[in-house]
Each structure stands twice: as C-alpha cells, then as structure tokens.
C-alpha cells in the first residue's frame, strides 16, 4: 500500500500497463529519443548531457510509474522522470508534462514542476541524496494529486488545481540534465486507489492538561 493525503493506493490490485525491460529490441520499439544521447549500459537505460526520452505509447488517465535509478559518478545530480507528457518538436522541448526529480533545481532539491512553463509545484531540500546509490522510485498522478515515493517512503506530494488533461497527454519518460543518469526496471501502472478519511484519534489531552493544574 502507498498512502498519500486522503488516498490509499493498492499496488497488488493496480493494473500493469507496461513492464518491458530495457534492451535493444524494446529500446527501438517503445521509445523515442527526443533530445541528446541515450544508450544501453547493460540492463540500464543511460542518459547523458541534456537528454530527453519518451514512450511512443500514451498511458492516459491516472498513472503510477515504478523504476530504479542512480547517478553515475562523477555525476552527482538530477534523477528526472516525466508523466503526462507530450513533445514539442518545433521548439525542441516538452510541450507539456509533470517533471519530477531528485537532487535537482541546482540546490539539491526533490520536487515536481510543470512543463512547459517549468514552474515548480512543490520542492523540498529534505531528501538526503547519495550519488551512485540505487533508488527505488514510485511516482504518479491521480486526478492532479502528484506524489513521489523513494524506497517506500513518501518524500513529497502536491495537488495541481489546474491539472494537465491526462486523457489527452499520456507519455512517460526520463530526462538527463547536465548529468549521467541510469534507469531500469520501468513499470507503468494504473493505480487502484480508494478515498480514506483523515482524522485525529483522541489523545486525552484535555484530561492530561487538567491534571497538571490540579
């Protein structure tokens, strides 16, 4: 289970939409290199310099992606993924999309921004990033509710009140930003989730406070 504010995601019931390992065949069949250099390094997909790669297929609606990633020393920053994306080939940039990252925004922050404006929706400096370490990342968008889990722990979530239309834009991908980054074991899922009530359980604070002043 993954829990975000007001929602509980059941991974066991979530439908796997895509789960093909990176290899020569899948690299050519399933992905479009939009920008710069992407190669296969063993079972890793590797991006260098200012690279962008997107799936040929669109995955519309609520989406959750799961993958492993690491920077390759001496590279120290910017593990980047993209959801609900589309490519603008005329201007050579993301037409739209939610861009999530670890150790980004020039100051080592984790967060989410929205293309093409590149306006951050949520950022935090509190994730302790280690270059070269392999991270298991789960991230997604449920009706404009965005989230990133790293190694099973929620590190950031945000709600976009003017969300990208997930029924029109559905490509998934990865970026490299002046870095050398590797990705593997990508899965794309349709998250099965339910609403949950957020509430405090009674803590008997009133009786405790009264005892102090007796």
pLDDT band at 210 (very low <50, low <70, confident <90, very high): low
11: tokens are: 């991974």
- The widest CA-to-CA distance across the chain, in whole angstroms, is 76
Position 201 scores a pLDDT of: 86
108: tokens are: 């080592």
> Is the Cβ–Cβ distance between 132 and 70 less than 8 Å?
yes
Q: What percent of the chain has pLDDT over 90?
A: 90
The pair phi, psi for residue 18, each rounded to 5°, is -160, 135
Position 36 scores a pLDDT of: 86
How much is the average pLDDT of 143-151? 98
Residue 11, helix vs strand vs coil: strand
Paired with 100 in beta bridges are 81, 112
Query: For the chain, what are the domain ranges?
Result: 2-212
pLDDT band at 102 (very low <50, low <70, confident <90, very high): very high
> Is the Cβ–Cβ distance between 137 and 68 less than 8 Å?
yes
Q: What percent of the chain has pLDDT over 70?
A: 95
Mean pLDDT of the chain: 94
How much is the average pLDDT of 142-167? 97
Residue 209: CA count within 13 A, CB half-sphere: 4
Residue 71 has pLDDT above 60, yes or no: yes
Would you give the DSSP letter of residue 207? H
Looking at domain 2-212, its CATH class is mainly beta
DSSP character string of 123-171: EES-----TT--EEEEEEEETTEEEEEETTEEEEEEE-SS---TTT--E
């Amino acid at each position: 289970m993954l829990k975000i504010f007001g929602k509980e995601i059941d991974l066991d019931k979530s439908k796997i939409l895509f789960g093909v390992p990176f290899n020569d065949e899948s690299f050519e069949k399933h992905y479009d290199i939009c920008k710069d250099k992407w190669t296969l390094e063993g079972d890793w997909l590797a991006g260098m310099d200012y690279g962008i790669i997107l799936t040929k297929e669109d995955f519309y609606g609520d989406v959750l992606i799961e993958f492993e990633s690491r920077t390759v020393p001496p590279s120290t920053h910017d593990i980047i993924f993209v959801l609900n994306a589309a490519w603008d080939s005329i201007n050579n940039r993301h037409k739209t999309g939610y861009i999530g990252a670890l150790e980004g925004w020039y100051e080592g922050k984790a967060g989410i921004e929205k293309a093409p404006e590149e306006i951050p929706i949520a950022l935090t400096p509190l994730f302790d990033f280690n270059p070269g370490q392999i991270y298991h990342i789960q991230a997604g968008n449920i009706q404009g509710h965005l989230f990133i889990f790293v190694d099973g722990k929620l590190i950031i979530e945000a709600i976009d009140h003017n969300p990208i239309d997930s029924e029109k834009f559905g490509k998934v991908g990865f970026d490299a930003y002046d870095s050398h980054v590797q990705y593997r074991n990508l899965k794309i899922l349709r998250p099965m989730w339910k609403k949950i009530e957020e509430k405090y359980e009674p803590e008997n604070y009133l009786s405790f406070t009264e005892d102090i002043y007796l």
